[in-house]
Amino acid sequence: MKTKIMTRRRVLGTGSAALAATVFGKRAIAAPEFDFKLGVNTPETHPLTIRLAEAAKAVGAQSSGRLNITVFANSQLGGDPEMLSQVRAGGIELLAAPSMTLSTLVPLSGLPSIGFAFQSYDQVWAAMDGGVGDIVRDAIARTGVVPLNKVWDNGFRQITSSSSRQLNSVDDLKGFKIRVPVTALLTSLFSGLGALPSSISYSELYSALQTHIVEGQENPLAQVSTGKLYEVQKYCALSNHCWSGYWILGNRRAMAGLPPDLVALINAAFDAAAVKERADLVEMDRSLQAELTGKGMTFNKPDPVQFRAALVKAGFYTQWRKTYGADAWAALEKYTGKLT
């Protein structure tokens, strides 16, 4: 069974195609017993979207067409906050939710994204497939949505800026107008570094940079590339200021309505795809700096020690230790070492 990544043209044409099949004859393929929509903000070319479609296709094939999952890429079903509301209400059945956006509903999902916490992917996956992942997954489940087992990679985040400012030090961030996701954690981080963060949906980011509503933004290199942000940004500071991921969430009622064998298929297919997507992101990051340099971006690598010291002075770590609680903080520091 073929699973498509839906484009806007395909979305508009779906209704008329279904009507034609009903009016002019029987469908060539029987309708699935269960038909799920999966929303994601990444473009069709992003490894996350590609692997989501691969997992959806595997579920369709292995269920003999009983469960069809259609992936709607590039925020076609709404911005991240809107899609999060939809998956909770049942408007969509599945969502690849950025951990930053999810933190507005589940504050603990922001725990792994504490500024300058993880220094390597070895630390990240030990924590997320271990104790930190367990803590976040339990917190998500208490909000009425169903998290799948493995978190997917969104990468270490970097800071880009327009031609008017290259970022090499904490002082360079003073008064810097930067777009951040709609999340308190990154707003707090960049405020602590003296910048002026502004919460803007990813779907509106390109135009906000193009029209100079903000001077810069922060994202993994994969999204700088697939979102074509290099067209409106000149510099990239390889800050690795935090790591972020994507959680695959299911509407509780929709998931509860599936037979156990289909639930098992979803978990197995999406967990296998998550492992592949993690490797994809590492490989993509290896080549992206050269690719983006060829498209006109200039890279530099600031010393992270100065940024961490500024955050300690601003009380950033003390504030978030209180927010997340001593137990969760201790679980994080088991993998990262002491943060204050």
d(CA 100, CA 185): 8
**Rounded mean pLDDT of 227-256?**
97
Res 19 pLDDT > 80 = no
**Side chain identity, residue 295:** K
d(CA 36, CA 93): 6
219 shares a domain with 204: yes
Res 17 pLDDT > 70 = no
Res 26 pLDDT > 70 = no
182 shares a domain with 328: yes
Q: The whole model's pTM is what?
A: 0.85
Beta strands in 99-171, from DSSP E residues, in sequence order: 145-147, 152-156, 158-161
CA nearest to 199, candidates 184, 210, 211: 184
217 shares a domain with 132: no
263 shares a domain with 206: no
Res 9 pLDDT > 70 = no
Q: What is the pLDDT of residue 292?
A: 97
| Domain limits for position 330 | 158-242+292-336
237 shares a domain with 141: no
Select the more confidently predicted residue: 255 or 11. 255
d(CA 87, CA 38): 9
Q: In the chain, what's the furthest Cα-to-Cα distance?
A: 71
Q: What is the pLDDT of residue 4?
A: 59
Give the tens place of pLDDT for each residue, 117-150.
999 999 999 999 999 999 999 999 999 999 999 9
146 shares a domain with 276: yes
Give the tens place of pLDDT for each residue, 138-183.
999 999 999 999 999 999 999 999 998 999 999 999 999 999 988 8
Res 80 pLDDT > 80 = yes
Extract the tokens encoding 12.
Answer: 């508009």
d(CA 303, CA 183): 25
Are 75 and 203 in contact, with CB atoms under 8 Å apart? yes
In degrees rounded to 5, what are phi and psi of residue 333?
A: -70, -15
CA 335, distance to chain mean position in Å, is 22
Look at 146-150, 221-225, 261-265 and tell me which has the smallest mean pLDDT: 221-225
**Rounded mean pLDDT of 35-58?**
96
Extract the tokens encoding 175.
Answer: 């008064």
**Rounded mean pLDDT of 97-116?**
94
Give the tens place of pLDDT for each residue, 189-208.
999 999 999 998 888 999 99
185 shares a domain with 322: yes
Give me the CATH number covering residue 236. Answer: 3.40.190.170
d(CA 185, CA 137): 19
Beta strands in the chain, from DSSP E residues, in sequence order: 5-6, 34-39, 67-72, 94-98, 145-147, 152-156, 158-161, 177-180, 196-199, 216-219, 235-237, 243-251, 298-300
98 shares a domain with 209: no
- Total structural domains in the chain? 2
Q: What is the pLDDT of residue 328?
A: 97
165 shares a domain with 96: no
| Model confidence band, residue 7 (pLDDT cutoffs 50, 70, 90) | low
329 shares a domain with 299: yes
Res 21 pLDDT > 80 = no
In degrees rounded to 5, what are phi and psi of residue 30?
A: -60, 145
Where do we find the tokens 């969430």?
249
| Model confidence band, residue 224 (pLDDT cutoffs 50, 70, 90) | very high
58 shares a domain with 46: yes
Q: What is the pLDDT of residue 10?
A: 52
182 shares a domain with 39: no
d(CA 225, CA 195): 24
